[in-house]
Amino acid sequence: MRKLQYLGRMEHDDIRFMGEAIQLARLGMDRGDGGPFGCVIVKDGKVVGRGNNRVTSTNDPTAHAEVVAIREACNSLSDFQLEGCVLYTSCEPCPMCLGAIYWARPDRIVFACTREDAADAGFDDQLIYDELTLPFTERKIPTEHLLRDEAQVVFEAWKGKQDKVRY
C-alpha cells in the first residue's frame, strides 16, 4: 500500500474525505441501493459531489458510485470537467468508472480497496480489463463494424462546426 505523500492538512483532508466515501458505501449498501461502493468529489476543501452505488435500486448498470458522484459534481459546478477536484472512492475504479473519471479530468484520484479486494467480494472486473485489450473481432460480445463512411460525414460536419464546445 502506498503511503500518503502529503503532510499536515492535506493528509488530514484525504483521510476525512476518504472516510466519507467509505461511509457512503456502507450507508448505500445498508439501504439496499446497490453494492458497497462510495465516492466523494472535493474542490477547494468542499464536497461538490457524492455518490454511492445504485445499480440494483435504479436498474442502471452505469449507476456506480463514481459516475453518480461525477454527475452530481458536474451539475453542482455547472461544468463538464472537474478541474481542481479530487475524487475519493472507496474502491479502485472499474474500467467504466476509470473512463468516466478520465473524461471528467479531476486533478487526482484517491482510492481505498483494490480491484483484488473487490474481486474477493464478488465484483470481478478482470474480464472487462482483458476485453479492452482485444481487437473487437475477438471480444466475447459479438461486435460488428459497418456504415463507417456514412458516419464519417457527421465527423466531417463536426470538424467544420464553428460553435462547437471542445472537450
Catalytic residue numbers read 66
Cβ–Cβ < 8 Å for 132, 139:
no
Cβ–Cβ < 8 Å for 100, 87:
no
Phi, psi at 92, each rounded to 5°:
-50, 130
User: Tell me, what DSSP letter sits at residue 138?
Assistant: G
Burial label for 34, CB within 10 Å (0-12, 13-18, 19+), is buried
| 101 three-state secondary structure | helix
Strands lying side by side in the sheet with 38-43? 46-52, 38-43, 85-91, 108-113
Taken as a whole, the chain contains a residue count of 167
